Structure formats: C-alpha cells, structure tokens
Amino acid sequence: METASRLLSLGRVLLWLLLPLMLFAVYSSFIYAPTERIMGEVQRLFYFHMGAAIAAFISFFLVFVAGCCYLWKRTLIWDKLALSGVECGVLFTTIVLITGPIWARPVWNTRLPGPGQALPSSVHQGQSLHC
C-alpha cells in the first residue's frame, strides 16, 4: 500500500511540474509560432498531430516492453504498466486519427486518407479497446 501512495504523490508532483510546460506549449503553438506561408493556420494543428503520434508509438512500445517483462517475471506491476500504456496509446491514437484528416483536407485537398493509410491505425485502436 505504501508503494501506491508513493506513486500517487509522485503523480501529483509531476502534474504540477508538467502543467506549466503544457500551457506553454499550447501558447507557443497558437500564439508565438508564426503562421506558415503555404499551409496557413491549419499548420498549427500539425504540432498536436505529430506529438500525439510520437506519444502513441512510445506508449505502445511501453506495452510491448511491459508485456515481455510480465511474461518473464510474472509480476502484476508489469501487467498494470502495460494496461496504462494501452490506455495512453489509445488516447493519443484517437488524437492522431482525428487531427490527421482535419489537417490533410486543406493541405492535400482530400477529405479522408487514401485506402490503407488510416485503416491499420483504426484496426489497431479497435484491438486495443477490446482489451
């Protein structure tokens, strides 16, 4: 029980440390960053799209590592870590799947990605939600 309370207090500390950085990132992307010459204002959405894509890949890599460690050590902490990685990965993949077509419409003049571009991510996300 002591470990859980230590992790909870660590989470609170990280929240208060990272919250100003997140607010600064939002300010930087919407106000400080100059408007791109060709894409215009829609380019600002790409900051969230790319960051969410990287976070999704890192989250699912964490699921892979934690799953391997769970199979090797058989301790429940690795299973819980994998579950939290899946939850974060699904969240970030949802952001990617929403912001991608919104960004691509004015930039590529197409409403949805072509066949085979968004389908693998959607299938992977459906499998993650099933867990």
- pLDDT tens sequence for the chain (131 residues): 566 677 678 778 888 898 899 899 889 888 888 888 888 888 888 888 999 999 999 999 999 999 999 999 998 989 999 999 999 999 999 898 888 888 887 877 776 555 555 556 666 556 556 55
pTM: 0.73
CA 36 remoteness from chain centre: 24
Q: Please tell me the predicted confidence (pLDDT) of residue 54.
A: 95
Question: Could you state, in order of their start, the residue ranges of all structural domains in the chain?
Answer: 1-33, 40-130
Q: Return the C-alpha torsion angle 11, 16, 18, 23, nearest 10.
A: 140
What is the distance between the alpha carbons of residues 78 and 67, in angstroms, rounded to a whole number? 7
Please say whether the beta carbons of 26 and 66 come within 8 A: no
Residue 114 DSSP SS3:
coil
What is the distance between the alpha carbons of residues 26 and 35, in angstroms, rounded to a whole number? 15
